[in-house]
């Protein structure tokens, strides 16, 4: 499953990118899942850092707090095209026990000193919570996070 909504860049990420405070192809990126009550579902989040997000899922039922690693980051575009796109390998979680429920995914740089947030996407276009039952897998495609268009 891809995120139902498009990836929304955090305003702070745009400034961080221009300051060369993260390496989009060499740093380690992670994806955390949050509930509908999270402050992370807001591009204007002040101090957009992992430590400042609220209502991330707890470690239980197939999810581990801190999220899953989004490996193999790549950048495409530039030159003749005005859009630069960030991509990583897909990330996934398999529900266990009672399963887990989330509203959005948050992509962040786990290498940067402040664990800076990059973008978020809603998991359902309604928007509604997405429940992953025991034995089912939630796979999230990180493809096409447009950094500058």
pLDDT in tens, 52-70: 999 999 999 999 999 999 9
Residue 34 lies in a domain: yes
Q: Burial-class residue 26 by CB neighbours within 10 Å (0-12, 13-18, 19+).
A: exposed
> For residue 1, is it within any domain?
no
For residue 78 the two structure tokens come to 């530039």
| Average pLDDT rounded to a whole number, residues 70-91 | 84
Q: Which domain holds residue 18?
A: 8-148
Total count of domains within the chain: 1
CB 100 within 8 A of CB 63: yes
In a domain, 3, yes or no: no
Predicted TM-score (pTM) of this structure: 0.90
- Is there a domain that residue 39 lies in? yes
């Amino acid at each position: 499953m891809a995120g139902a909504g498009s990836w929304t860049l955090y305003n702070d990420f745009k400034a961080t990118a221009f300051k060369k405070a993260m390496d989009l192809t060499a740093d380690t990126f992670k994806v955390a899942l949050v509930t509908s009550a999270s402050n992370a579902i807001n591009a204007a989040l002040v101090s957009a850092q992992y430590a400042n997000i609220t209502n991330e899922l707890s470690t239980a039922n197939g999810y581990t707090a801190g999220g899953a690693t989004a490996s193999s980051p790549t950048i495409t575009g530039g030159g003749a095209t005005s859009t630069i796109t960030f991509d990583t390998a897909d990330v996934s979680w398999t529900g266990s026990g009672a399963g887990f429920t989330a509203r959005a995914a948050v992509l962040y740089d786990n290498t940067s000193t402040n664990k800076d947030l990059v973008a978020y996407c809603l998991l359902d276009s309604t928007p509604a919570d997405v429940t992953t039952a025991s034995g089912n897998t939630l796979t999230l495609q990180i493809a096409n996070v447009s950094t500058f268009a």
